[in-house]
A and B are shown apart, each in its own frame.
Chain A
Amino acid sequence: MTTASSAAPSAEVTAIDASARCPLLLLLGAALLWLVVSGALALLNLLQLSTPSLAADCAVMTFGRTAAMQQTAFLYGWAANAGLAVVLWLLGRLGGSPLRSLNWTVAGALFWNLSVALSLVGIGTGDGASHAWLHLPAYVQPLMLVAYAAMVVPGVLAWTGRRQPMMFAAQWYAVAALVLFPWIFSGAQLMLSFAPERGVLQALVAGWFGQGAWSLWLAPLALAAAYYLVPKVGGRAIPSYDFAILSFWTLIFVGSWTGGRHLIGGPVPAWTITVAGVACVLLLFHYIVVGINLRGAFACGGSTVLRFIALGLGAYLLGGLGDALTAFRGVAVVTQFTHLATAQSQLALTGAFSLTIFGAIYFMVPRLTGQAWPSGSLIRGHFFAALLGTLILIGALAVAGWIQGQDLNNATVSFAAIAAHTQPWLLIAAAGQAVLVVGNGLLLVHLVRAIACRWLKPAPAIFPEAPTMEVSRS
């Protein structure tokens, strides 16, 4: 065992982490700020669903705008910043040398977060676009593309300059997320904002972008974190690792084809929906292999990092199964265009993505600051708030959606009656969202404390030399 000090760090806390400290903490701080903003807006949104008169006199605070602001703050504020921070960090570590050109990340992050702030103002004043996952006003979109390109420069450099020629699964997913997002983002900008497609093609493009942003960007970001941390923390190699590559390519090739599932029952050619449904079912192969590969997360042995990742993984697998089930037209007849669709996207975003990234943050921040988190109870508090809030939010939304879908198919139930039937469940969902906001607020406070302690009360932590991994014989 070696004792760590700020002058001579041990092998486990290396120059790789130290050099990336400020840029990555900047990304994480911005991410958590947006997460809390988005959570507060989501709470307002859910309350507006059951009490439509709430803040209805203020144009900025009307449901359509707050919903768009909430989603934008979550996707482009929280998910982008946090996902990139985690992925840049792990690409640096697996690349074997300190991240280079981090100034690009800092500059990019400044412009990116300014753009997100500008987007929220733009949406509030009525400039937002009307596409799910792409509510950003048209004038912000090109700037965000450039900022994103600048932010990922160190990641791409770490990947091309890696010490070991062989790539590990976490690196596949990380690099795929880094390079595929500009493709779908620029494609969507072109086809939705600057040379908009007409008619149903526009809805198809929006569906493709929304699904692509999940399957080719956010899901790979979270999977990169999980594929790195499960063996890293658990200390055991990934079982059936030789299938991971098949699973990866299944996601990359089939993932964005599932976009048409959002249009089941819509006025689009039948084959586009059929192909999307088939793609959802084919994607089950990806989920099965991910479940087999990462099952080590469920044997977390008291590790909070792995507990978070296990919850995220559970949500991811459940979400994949749910997508496949609701892609059947017989099920979609009830579920499509209801709160259940919202529950599904929440399962993916606040469930699979956020919980996995929380786990990564709890592992990463002590290595970036070089010292332990200030408080164990804040971590436990956040964990239970996240667990409870996610379960209540998604469960209540799913029940509300199912009731709503059954009622909508019954011509004798009036619209007012449907609203009355779903109202109690929406209030429960709002309670879940409130718990989530509190929990995420705890993490934000904790991160601020961790950064403050780093400079005010330096107490370098001990990072013992990590053991050597044995190859399992599975």
Chain B
Amino acid sequence: MSDPHPIDPRLEQAGASDESLLAAHEQMLGRKPEDDAHYRKLPLVLLFVFSGLIFYAGTYLNHFSGRYDGATFNENGAPGQAGGATAPVDPLVQGKKNYDQVCITCHQATGLGIPGVYPPLAGSEWVLGSEERLVRIVLHGLKGPVKVKGVEYGAAAMPVFGKVAGSGYNWSDEKIASVLTYVRQSFGNSASAITPAQVSAIHAKEADRKEWTQDELLRLP
């Protein structure tokens, strides 16, 4: 303080006018670094401090973010652990979901197909009969003429669904088992369920191959 007199707390005086206060600070912002005779250490120190804080922040975020998962409540828990126990999936529910997404376009919601174009699933001897043949049809597809309930179909091919070469769907064996179970137990059908193990066994035996034909399938049990 330049004022040698004691300050009266009842009436404190300003040390600078508003105009000069504004002007002085404006001048400080416009000042170039080389205007200073001496080198300023503070900017460098602050830069290091800020960089250090940001580095720390990034590391901390990386460790404890829980991958920004809304269901992760423990910052140390790996993602996915937070879900807890998983309930077994009902194959009929999963099968219907998959059927409604894909199969329904040809075989229809009724399972009756479209006469003359897409064969029916309801009451079909292929669906209710040999499980060996049925699994193969979905795994690798079916091409060429096929006779269902006494009617000849051949205009459309059954696509390849399994996780095999040339598949457009890559459905897991479990998924195929559930959709087949659904088909065998819906639309008035009531046949036994297909297990994922059955599908896996056939998948392992046949591996990759081209679409089946009716004749090839009829040679199987």
Size range of the chain A interface in the assembly: 35 or more
Judging by beta carbons under 8 Å apart, are A380 and B61 in contact?
A: no
Judging by beta carbons under 8 Å apart, are B25 and A466 in contact?
A: no
Query: A428 contacts the other chain (Cβ, under 8 Å)?
Result: no
Query: A161 contacts the other chain (Cβ, under 8 Å)?
Result: no
| Bound: A17/B46 CA distance, A | 39
Judging by beta carbons under 8 Å apart, are A236 and B15 in contact?
A: yes
Pairs of residues from A and B, 3 with the lowest C-beta to C-beta distance, nearest first: A235-B15, A469-B16, A372-B11
CB distance from A429 to the nearest CB of B (A): 29
Set of chain A residues within 8 Å of B71, measured between Cβ atoms: 269
Indicate which residue in A242, A267, A376 contacts B28 across the interface (CB closer than 8 Å).
A242
Binds B, one of A277-285, A392-400, A416-424: A277-285
| Bound: A375/B61 CA distance, A | 55
Binds A, one of B50-58, B118-126, B189-197, B198-206: B50-58
| Bound: A366/B57 CA distance, A | 47
Query: B83 contacts the other chain (Cβ, under 8 Å)?
Result: no
CB distance from B50 to the nearest CB of A (A): 5
| Bound: A282/B50 CA distance, A | 8
Set of chain A residues within 8 Å of B13, measured between Cβ atoms: 12, 463-464, 466
Instruction: Closest B residue to A11 by CB, please name it.
Output: B17
Instruction: Closest A residue to B75 by CB, please name it.
Output: A270
Would you give the 0/1 interface string for A443-474, flagging 1 where the beta carbon is closer than 8 Å to chain B? Answer: 00000000000000000010111111111010
Set of chain B residues within 8 Å of A118, measured between Cβ atoms: none
Report how many residues on chain B are interfacial, defined by Cβ distance under 8 Å.
52
CB distance from B115 to the nearest CB of A (A): 51
| Bound: A166/B27 CA distance, A | 10
Instruction: Closest A residue to B27 by CB, please name it.
Output: A471
List 4 additional contacts besides A269-B66, A281-B60, A285-B49; criterion CB under 8 Å: A169-B25, A238-B25, A271-B69, A282-B57
CB distance from B14 to the nearest CB of A (A): 4
A269-B24 contact, Cβ under 8 Å, with A12-B17, A302-B6: no
| Bound: A275/B75 CA distance, A | 11
| Bound: A278/B55 CA distance, A | 11
Set of chain A residues within 8 Å of B85, measured between Cβ atoms: none
Instruction: Closest B residue to A377 by CB, please name it.
Output: B9
Query: A240 contacts the other chain (Cβ, under 8 Å)?
Result: yes
Judging by beta carbons under 8 Å apart, are A376 and B10 in contact?
A: yes
Set of chain A residues within 8 Å of B20, measured between Cβ atoms: 466-469
- What would be 6 A-B contacts, judged by CB atoms less than 8 Å apart? A94-B22, A232-B16, A232-B18, A301-B7, A304-B9, A466-B20
Set of chain B residues within 8 Å of A301, measured between Cβ atoms: 1, 7
Query: B90 contacts the other chain (Cβ, under 8 Å)?
Result: no
Instruction: Closest B residue to A237 by CB, please name it.
Output: B24
Query: A274 contacts the other chain (Cβ, under 8 Å)?
Result: yes
Judging by beta carbons under 8 Å apart, are B8 and A237 in contact?
A: no
Instruction: Closest B residue to A379 by CB, please name it.
Output: B9
